[in-house]
Structure 1
């Protein structure tokens, strides 16, 4: 009998530990769910606006047609922590904030720059940091090795991203004009800059961290980054200004998946570990 007890003891200890983990997980979900506004605790459905054409953050897998991307996977993991279902609505970027304003969505789960001007009407859960890189064709890295080699060259940016224009003008003044080097030639484009690079329409282009890291994952021998990001900003999930209870519940869910390692695994899957934050932030953007 003593021998049987000795053999059973490790099994019982392991079983008790497993039960403890299960109850801890259940308790965690329950506690985080209680942070949600009452209507979501009851309905268990939260409507989320997504962009769905912004790889690697939100997009449809070209092979399967299924929703995928950094935001989609992070939010699915958070939904599990909160014990609710996220109902995703894919729209164009221009329709995200109007959709939130009119009540079509409960929050926006796309990558929205947390800028002070936007916080007049919105509040954000900041979940990654990013910034603009100067990117070249990899074959050009023999002659363009650093910032000084960009001076005098044509550099393109997307016409509708005004922050890129601001960053490039500051770069031009600091790295080129003030150091007696030729000015860069600023070019605007309505096409994806990566196409212009490949077609050799310009020598360099400005791309955000997540975009260039994704391109380098898909085509590792095609593109190169110059230096570090020229600025830093926060991407956040956007909520109406007064919707702080829902915002804080989503932030708690984000902290939970950061703590258990899910967050880091998802970022690594899409070659986005550079974007990682240590914990959620609220309205931290300063750019």
Structure 2
């Protein structure tokens, strides 16, 4: 065989080996929906305008554990579920309550739990010292949330059922307005989302204090399409892994979430293969 023939055979052999090589693995890119208006879960750094919060960190940790890339898509809270159903995003975070009604259209992987909690002023000498002290007095709650319903139900159970006068509801425009009413002395307390309570106390340098333990706890879920069961199960598995190695609790502590907001490791409601 001539030198030229040997060279040709070598080239052809190398080409054959290249043709048999598997295609390079490309990480799947996930569009993650976020509505940065729920501190300390989803918000913006006031100095840099960068997205930050528990959800931002958790989504990055989950994607890394799954070997996937993420692309954040900002959207309004009202558009999170429609964006998932139309494929504009593949999952979302925003502390959305996992309810049977919502499970009719999307899947959830529960990752936190939240309730409601009373806030009072720290330096008010006539502030309630016990939740029962609020019976018959005015308490503010954001009228655009479910907080008024929680407040009235609590009043029936704790005040009225014990022969005490019911709480008087002050329907505030939002949570910030409810705290304003408290600071101006129009109400003796506000009802606040328990996830945000430690953050609000810290941000206001102790001007407020929590009164009583959180109540009416409910699960919050990562939203996922019902048509992509594989992704939902991978998210559940990745979350289990983060819970097992301590990363999940480290993020809970980093963002100052109350200890009772953490969920234990679970297979969830997806019945994923182990």
Q: Extract unaligned runs of 5+ from structure 2.
A: 1-24
The alpha carbon displacement at 1:119 in A equals 1.1
Q: Partners in 2 of 1:207 and 1:120 — Cα distance?
A: 28
Q: Secondary structure at the match of 1:186?
A: strand
If the length of structure 1 is used for normalisation, what is the TM-score?
Answer: 0.79
Does 1:204 find its partner at 2:189? yes
The alpha carbon displacement at 1:203 in A equals 1.7
The alpha carbon displacement at 1:273 in A equals 4.4
The alpha carbon displacement at 1:42 in A equals 4.6
1:188-215 CA deviation, whole Å, 9 max, x = no partner? Answer: 1223223332233322111111111111
Cα RMSD of the aligned pairs, angstroms, is: 1.9
2:221 pairs, out of 236, 251, 261, with 236
2:198 pairs, out of 201, 213, 216, with 213
Query: What residue in structure 2 maps to residue 257 of structure 1?
Result: 242
Alignment of 1:103-118 (within 5 A): 103-118=87-102
Alignment of 1:48-67 (within 5 A): 48-67=32-51
Does 1:278 find its partner at 2:264? yes
Alignment of 1:146-157 (within 5 A): 146-157=130-141
Q: Partners in 2 of 1:195 and 1:137 — Cα distance?
A: 11
Distance 1:170 1:281, change over 3 A: farther
1:190-243 CA deviation, whole Å, 9 max, x = no partner? Answer: 232233322333221111111111112223421111211121101111112333
Q: Partners in 2 of 1:105 and 1:141 — Cα distance?
A: 50
Does 1:139 find its partner at 2:123? yes
Q: Partners in 2 of 1:98 and 1:255 — Cα distance?
A: 27
Q: Which has the larger radius of gyration?
A: 2
Q: Extract unaligned runs of 5+ from structure 1.
A: 1-40
Q: Partners in 2 of 1:75 and 1:177 — Cα distance?
A: 44
Q: Partners in 2 of 1:283 and 1:137 — Cα distance?
A: 40
If the length of structure 2 is used for normalisation, what is the TM-score?
Answer: 0.83
Q: Partners in 2 of 1:94 and 1:240 — Cα distance?
A: 16
Q: Secondary structure at the match of 1:140?
A: coil
The alpha carbon displacement at 1:280 in A equals 4.4
Q: Secondary structure at the match of 2:256?
A: coil
Does 1:165 find its partner at 2:139? no
